[in-house]
Amino acid sequence: MQVIIKENYDEMSKEAAQIIRDAIHLKPNLVLGLATGSTPVGTYKELIRMYEEGELDFSKVVTFNLDEYVGLPPNHDQSYHYFMHDKLFNHININPANVHVPSGIAKDFAKYCQWYEDEIKKAGGIDLQVLGIGSDGHIGFNEPGTSLASRTSLVTLTEETIRDNSRFFEKEEDVPRFAITMGVGTIMEAKCCLLLANGEKKADPVSVLVEGPITSQVTASALQMHPNAIVIVDKAAASKLKRVDYYKWAYENRPRF
């Protein structure tokens, strides 16, 4: 696992956007996994800037989002479908046919989840998966206790996640109780995982993700078993890591050959 510690949110976002840009330059038809939440918004802004300045072409890029709230139609302003269009897709030259955000209003969720998995496979698998981390250590909506081998499925959110995400809704009661999410096993099949975290609230889950035991109680810790995981954090989110000096040293002296 490569741990990159940046001074602040802006630096974290720029570093992440550069990694995504370089991956698209290498493979113009990159299969890009995307995340919602406030953490990647700065990265998306930077990608939009790169597109506007002619540095990036999304015309062949294929995207798969991690998750969606159950019960919210795509045009609901708190749906992840809406969020992704508002924060990224409406501002770049992505082909709408290449965009995949799980549906929160499928008729048969078991069938739909299998279809989503099949679509990822048909696209050749995810090359680069962007991830945030919940304050309870979840990736996607894989809450504590989820099998680290889980596949795309319908899940029940924890009260902590409902409370955390209520800041985007008028009242806590409006936050959906269920979501559809790529599983930990699905995420682990991405060729590269790029997890972003900023702020003090993420210091505890980040410390387990990077240095704690691998445990289904912090599903992000599964990334310790991923052959190519990059974790970019700001100073506040890194504040509970024990081996900061080494991570900085290893980053400054990373092999460039």
Residues of this chain that interact with ligand GLP (CB under 6 A) are 35-39, 66-67, 132-134, 140-141, 161, 165
Write down the least CB distance from residue 57 to ligand GLP, Å: 26
Residue with Cβ nearer ligand GLP (40 or 99): 40
Write down the least CB distance from residue 255 to ligand GLP, Å: 30
Residue with Cβ nearer ligand GLP (38 or 228): 38
Write down the least CB distance from residue 220 to ligand GLP, Å: 9
Residue with Cβ nearer ligand GLP (95 or 133): 133
**Which residues have C-beta within 8 Å of that of residue 58, sequence separation ≥ 6?**
24, 51, 92, 93, 94
C-alpha dihedral (81, 87, 92, 93), degrees to nearest 10: 0
Reading phi first (left if > 0) and then psi (alpha if -120 to 50, else beta), residue 67 is in: beta
Contact 105, 63 (CB under 8 A): no
Q: For residue 148, give Cα distances in angstroms to 36, 93, 140, 189, 216.
A: 21, 35, 12, 12, 6
Residue with Cβ nearer ligand GLP (154 or 250): 154
Write down the least CB distance from residue 219 to ligand GLP, Å: 11
- To 5 degrees, how large is the angle CA 103–CA 104–CA 109? 80
Cβ-defined contacts of 86-89 (< 8 Å, 24+): 87/41, 87/44, 87/45, 88/34, 88/44, 88/47, 88/48, 89/63
Instruction: Give helix 9-26 / helix 41-52 axis angle, nearest 10°.
Output: 50
Write down the least CB distance from residue 141 to ligand GLP, Å: 5
Residue with Cβ nearer ligand GLP (27 or 199): 199
Active site residues: 67, 136, 138, 143
Contact 236, 197 (CB under 8 A): no
Q: Name which of 219, 9, 183, 173 is nearest 78 in CA terms.
A: 173
Q: Which two tokens stand for residue 27?
A: 């493979």
